[in-house]
Amino acid sequence: MKKIVKSVLVTSALLTAACSDEPPEAIKQAAPEQAVTVVNGQWITEHDGSLMHDPQPSGLSHWQGKLVTISDNSADPAQQRRLHILDPQTASLAPRTSKFRLGSQVRRSCFSAYLADQPDLEALVADPQDPQVFYSVTEDATRTGALSSRCQSRYENTGSTDYPTLLVRLERLDSGDMVMTRVRPLQFALDLQVGDFPNDGIEGMALGADNTLYLALEKDMAGKARIFSVQMDDGFWESTDFANVEEPDIQLPDLGEGNHPVNALEYYSPASQDEAYLLAVARNDDELWVLDISGNKAAKRIKMDFTAPTHSDECQSSEVMDNASIEGITVINDTVWLINDPWKENYLKNVQCPATQSRYKGMAPLLFSTPLKPDWFGIQASGKDA
């Protein structure tokens, strides 16, 4: 997918100090430096110990004590349409799984040609109630030919892109094979003003309480990130009609101009609270946004620096990355796990230590982790609400 060069925010405090009547100390107090959470990464390796090559990870979920991710359609073809299973402690992959195949109902659908070729799968959620079921969503279908006349007539009113955004249900068989068993197109009401942006569509997905599926849109007609939802009620996957999208009343940061897409999403409910939150990754800003699902609280922004190990005696043990491009997030117990989607146009800008050049050139991704912090949710260290 296309990625937008991250904005660099420059404080004007120092520029105004020379002409202001206030002392420098007052200016510093008005614009305090934001604390940064340092998040350390590990290079992801294949089962044989080699680096994972150009998988373009999209989405991250926890499953049976492991982490799982998938690849979008800009990845090496060998990585696409597979479930990548990761050991979170070692960042090593299980033996490669087989390619996704189409179940009978998907084969008979209007979207079989797209899903059988190079679907742009952009998120992944493991169903916590059924360990054999996963959900994904598609984004860019511009490489795909047009739908048939019959299918185009049925699915033309998407409210967004010409080719519909698709929710996909995946099921893991006892053999370990993964099958796309169901598919449903999404419909956005026109008054939501989503716009027609095939490369800036749904990128984050999280499954909340009562089977509410939350969806993060990179940008709408106004250039803003949005959070939507779909209710996966009983019988949801038995229909082939449009699934209607709603917009919950969730407060997102108002960052003004610039591109601030949300590229990863996770549902989280602290044990000490009744509230629930979405953890949203603002990829271009290297920020984690803590979003109150009830809409009562303003978003909390957590600035992050992502580090990569050098594995070199001639360099520092790790270096802060210029461009991490996080596109997957999940929580296991009290740890946040994140995975990056190497940005092909900018990934080599991360090279500082010469020993890392081959890793970045090979578009090798990293797995990052950091502890959940109670104050992100307004909880004091004692466990009581602040």
> Of 26-30, 192-196, 246-250, which range is least confident?
26-30
CB 351 within 8 A of CB 336: no
Mean pLDDT, residues 220-240 taken together = 96
Q: What pLDDT shows up at residue 143? A: 82
CB of 281 closer than 8 Å to CB of 288: yes
Q: In whole angstroms, what is the distance from residue 20 CA to residue 163 CA?
A: 54
Say yes or no to pLDDT of 21 above 90: no
Confidence band for 384, pLDDT divided at 50, 70 and 90: low
- Work out the average pLDDT over 346-350: 97
The predicted model gives 241-250 an average pLDDT of: 98
- DSSP assignment of 130-188 equals -TTEEEEEE---TTSPPPPHHHHHHS---SS-SSPPEEEEEEE-TTS-EEEEEEEEEE-
Ordered structural domains, the chain, with CATH: 33-374 (2.120.10)
Q: Please check whether residue 285 is in contact with residue 262, taking contact to mean a CB–CB distance below 8 angstroms.
A: no
- pLDDT for the residue 34: 66
Lowest-confidence pick of 29-38, 83-92, 240-249: 29-38
pLDDT band at 15 (very low <50, low <70, confident <90, very high): very low
pLDDT at position 257, please?
Answer: 82
pTM of the model: 0.89
Instruction: Check if the beta carbon of residue 205 is closer than 8 Å to that of residue 140.
Output: no
Band of pLDDT at residue 23, cut at 50, 70 and 90: very low
| Residue 10 confidence class, pLDDT cut points 50, 70, 90 | very low
**pLDDT score for 362:** 98
Dihedral over Cα of 346, 352, 357, 360: its sign: negative
Average pLDDT over residues 230-256: 96
At 149-190, the pLDDT tens digits run 999 999 999 999 999 999 999 999 999 999 999 999 999 999
Strand partners, 339: 328, 367
Mean pLDDT of the chain: 90
How high is the pLDDT of residue 275? 93
Reading the block at residue 362, the tokens are 């090979």
Mean pLDDT of 303-321: 98
Q: Is the pLDDT of residue 148 over 80?
A: yes
Residues of the chain with pLDDT > 70: what percent? 90
